[in-house]
Amino acid sequence: MSAGNLACQRDSYLRELHTTVATCTPAADGLFHVTFEDTVLFPEGGGQPHDTGSVNGTVAVVAVVRKGAVAVHHTQSPLEPGTPAHQTVDWKRRWDHMQQHSAQHLITAVASDQFGLKTTSWSLGATKSTIDLVGERPLTDEVMQQLEDKVNEIIAEGRDVVATTYQPNSPELMAVRSRGLPEDVLASGAAIRVVSIGGLDVNTCCGTHVKSTAHLQTVKLLHTEASRGGSRLHFVAGERTRALLGAMYSDMRTLGKSFTCGLELVVDRAEGAIKTSKMLGRQVKALLKEAAESAAKQLAEEAQQRTEAASGSAVVVVHHHRDEADQDYLLTVASPLATLPIVAFLSITPPQEGSTPSYEGQFLLVGANEQHVAAAASAVSVIVDGKGGGKKGRFQGKAKQLTPANRAAAVAAIDAAIRAL
């Protein structure tokens, strides 16, 4: 049976079929490409993903594709040509695809007829689907609400959805809405399938559809985004709407418990928490800046005192570390030290997540003598398991082992490396 008139297209509600294996060919990916005299499993097409299912209860069908007018099934095991085959479709997946696909037809028809918005493409996603619409008027929130209301009004009316097949040269096809058919379908001479929604839309389509708009249950238009000079409309239909509502309600209840408030106050509490978080973030940043400037001043004073005490006999190495700091802190501490005749080894670890301590972080080496800093960088990188780069008396890197013991060892290693020059 050729595509366009398959069992799954003649009756989209058919869940199983007894047929016969026609051909079976091993594929390079380890699967088998199988064709049957007919199939209850829909091959990908018309924007609708393929069905999955099984044959004889044990052979999994992981994909179905159309080659010309032939449906090719990708199975995990071989099947003997000429033998009986009992096909079973994954009904949950099929029903979901039917609802989303028929909903797209309905949305497209209403958007075109009543709002002058033409569909240029659509996509049936795993959780949400999209329709790309273009027209002279923008798809505003107000228009989207009007579109949703009209679509759900038609759903409640329970209009018939009917699939009819025609020969490629049938005059009836002249009045049918279509965005074009694949060239291999036209070349094969296969029957052209037309799906109509009672008194509203007639459109060429190979996909599986519900019998009545009532079977869509409901459609929810979610949001839009700019796309290719038009609008990309996101939507869910049928069981997906219930699933989305359930998930969102559960999330709102969780947030309500966290904020100790009713669902109607969650948004206000969340906005308040965000404002507070931003304010605290600014305060923490200011305090860290003050702390960094204070640390830099103390290190500079320490370096000067130790340099004077050493009377030029040794290069002074200073070290400073802070937990739960950021790169800005590191750079602020380093700024007044970079031109001093010392080597400053500075390190930080970011805010910790969880109870297990992490010693991953960043380190920075600065000093007036480029050779000293380069030698220090080589020594420190080995000890703290670090990688980085730099030049002109500056080396910055990331480390995996900034433990207290490793930091102390790194200071000693810097001193030894400089003495060895």
Residue 158 sits in a domain of what CATH number? 3.30.980.10
Regarding predicted confidence, which is higher, 153 or 3? 153
Q: Are residues 99 and 75 in the same domain?
A: no
What pLDDT shows up at residue 395? 96
pLDDT digits (tens, 9 = 90+) for 198-228: 989 998 899 999 999 999 999 999 999 998 8
Residue 180's pLDDT is 63
Say how far apart CA 239 and CA 236 lie, in whole Å.
Answer: 8
Give the pLDDT mean for 171-186: 66
Residue in 408, 418, 406, 376 with CA at minimum distance from that of residue 394: 376
DSSP string, 330-398: HHHHHGGGTTSSEEEEEEEEPPP-SSS----EEEEEE-S-HHHHHHHHHHHHHHTTEEEE--SSEEEEE
What is the per-residue pLDDT across 276-321, written as a single tens digit (0 to 9) for each? 999 999 999 999 999 999 999 999 999 888 888 877 667 899 999 9
Average pLDDT value over all residues in the chain? 92
The pLDDT value recorded for residue 127 is: 96
Regarding whether 244 and 200 lie in a shared domain, the answer is yes
Instruction: Supply the pLDDT for residue 137.
Output: 84
pLDDT score, position 1: 66
* 169 and 192 together in one domain: yes
- Does residue 268 fall inside a structural domain? no
Residue 327 lies in a domain: yes
| 267 inside domain | no
In this model, does residue 171 exceed pLDDT 90?
Answer: no
Predicted confidence (pLDDT) at residue 372 exceeds the cutoff of 80: yes
CATH code for position 70? 2.40.30.130
Nearest to 205 by CA among 92, 102, 71: 102
- With a cut of 90, say whether residue 10 has pLDDT above it: yes
Asked if 19 and 99 sit in the same domain, the reply is no
Instruction: Write down the pLDDT at residue 187.
Output: 59
Would you state the pLDDT for residue 177?
Answer: 64
Residue 249 has pLDDT above 70, yes or no: yes
Residues facing 193 on adjacent strands: 165
Encode pLDDT of 59-82 as tens digits: 999 999 999 889 999 999 999 999
Residue 192: burial class (beta carbons within 10 Å; 0-12, 13-18, 19+) = buried
| 369 found inside a domain | yes
Angstrom CA distances, 93 to 134, 146, 239, 271, stand at 30, 30, 11, 38
pLDDT of residue 250: 96
pLDDT > 90? residue 275: yes
Q: Which residue has the tokens 């939507």?
A: 235
Find all residues with CB under 8 Å of 144, minimum gap 6, and list them. 221, 224, 233
Shared domain check, 106 and 213? yes
pLDDT at 93: 98
Residues 6+ positions from 189 with CB-CB distance below 8 Å: 69, 168
Provide the pLDDT for residue 185: 61
Q: Structural domain tally of the chain?
A: 3
282 and 393 belong to one structural domain? yes
CA distance 314 to 329: 28
Answer whether residue 43 is part of any domain. Answer: yes
- 24 and 39 share one domain: yes
**By residue range, what is the domain housing residue 364?**
277-420
Query: How high is the pLDDT of residue 364?
Result: 97
Asked if 37 and 59 sit in the same domain, the reply is yes
Domain-terminating residue out of 23, 58, 89: 89
Q: Looking at residue 169, what is its pLDDT?
A: 75
Q: Is residue 393 part of a domain?
A: yes
Q: Residues 168, 246: one domain? A: yes
Residue 173: predicted pLDDT: 74
Same domain, 294 and 161: no
pLDDT of residue 170: 79
pLDDT digits (tens, 9 = 90+) for 263-272: 999 999 999 9
Both 233 and 143 in a single domain? yes
Task: Judge if pTM exceeds 0.75.
Answer: yes
The answer to whether residue 264 sits within a structural domain is no
Instruction: State the Cα–Cα distance between residues 110 and 113, nearest whole angstrom.
Output: 5
- Bridge partners, residue 101, by sequence: none
Tell me which of 89, 117, 148 is where a domain ends: 89
Q: For residue 270, is it within any domain? A: no
Last residue of a domain, one of 55, 74, 89: 89
Q: What is the mean pLDDT of residues 225-234?
A: 93
Does residue 341 share a domain with residue 299?
yes
pLDDT bucket at 192, cuts 50 / 70 / 90: confident
